[in-house]
């Protein structure tokens, strides 16, 4: 998906139209809130107290949004941010969907945007990481055709957490 393109779908949970579009500076507050919320509910319960304290000191979500949001695509429904994706050169760095909009097709639509852009760039594979405890994301990626190619200790937050490297071959 080119940076100027928007895609539309219907959010199954709300019945509202959902637009996939490039992120803008106006999305920064909502993006930071989304990243904080998904981190606290998904990753924080798995982390050591020390790793969680270090994460809080780094202000990771706000910094990530400041540094990388120009490369994000967002899903917007009913005027609110429902999800985001960040990919670069065949690697998905982040996919986050607001809890109220999960299992509604938004994660799949954001991944589809990344797949189409990666394929259009001439790349043959799309890769990403997830953690073994994140069963919801693992189920989504399996449905989308990703397979495990490696596993290793988490290098960013807590080495006790096992990270999976997943890959999908992209058809021409």
- pLDDT, tens digit (0-9, with 9 covering 90-100), for 89-145: 999 999 999 998 888 889 999 999 999 999 999 999 999 999 999 999 999 999 999
Q: Which helix (H) or strand (E) holds 54?
A: helix 49-58
How much is the pTM? 0.87
**Residue 12: pLDDT over 60:** no
pLDDT of residue 10: 54
Tens-digit pLDDT profile for residues 27-86: 999 999 999 999 999 888 888 888 888 888 887 899 999 999 999 999 999 889 999 999
pLDDT of residue 4: 41
Taking the mean position of all CA atoms in its chain, how far away is CA 153? 20
pLDDT of residue 9: 61
CATH architecture of the domain with residue range 7-124: 3-Layer(aba) Sandwich (3.40)
Rounded to whole angstroms, how far apart are CA atoms 157 and 48? 9
Question: Angle 19-85-156 (CA atoms, 0-180°, nearest 5)?
Answer: 160
Q: 121, exposed or middle or buried, with CB in 10 Å at 0-12, 13-18, 19+?
A: exposed
Q: Which two tokens stand for residue 101?
A: 């909009």
Beta bridge partners of 148: 166
| CA-derived radius of gyration, the chain | 16
**Residue 2: pLDDT over 80:** no
pLDDT of residue 171: 82
- So where are the chain's domains? 7-124
């Amino acid at each position: 998906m080119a940076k100027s393109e928007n895609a539309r779908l219907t959010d199954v949970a709300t019945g509202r139209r959902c637009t996939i579009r490039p992120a803008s500076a106006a999305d920064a507050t909502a993006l930071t809130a989304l990243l904080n919320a998904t981190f606290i509910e998904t990753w924080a319960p798995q982390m050591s107290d020390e790793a969680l304290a270090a994460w809080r000191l780094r202000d990771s979500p706000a910094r990530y949004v400041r540094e990388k949001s120009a490369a994000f695509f967002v899903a917007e429904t009913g005027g609110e941010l429902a999800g985001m994706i960040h990919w670069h050169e065949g690697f998905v760095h982040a996919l986050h969907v607001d809890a109220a909009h999960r299992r509604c097709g938004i994660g799949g639509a954001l991944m589809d945007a990344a797949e189409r852009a990666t394929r259009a760039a001439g790349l043959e594979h799309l890769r990403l990481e997830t953690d073994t405890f994140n069963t919801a994301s693992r189920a989504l990626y399996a449905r989308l055709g990703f397979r495990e190619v490696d596993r290793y200790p988490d290098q960013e937050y807590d080495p006790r957490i096992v990270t999976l490297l997943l890959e999908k071959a992209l058809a021409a």
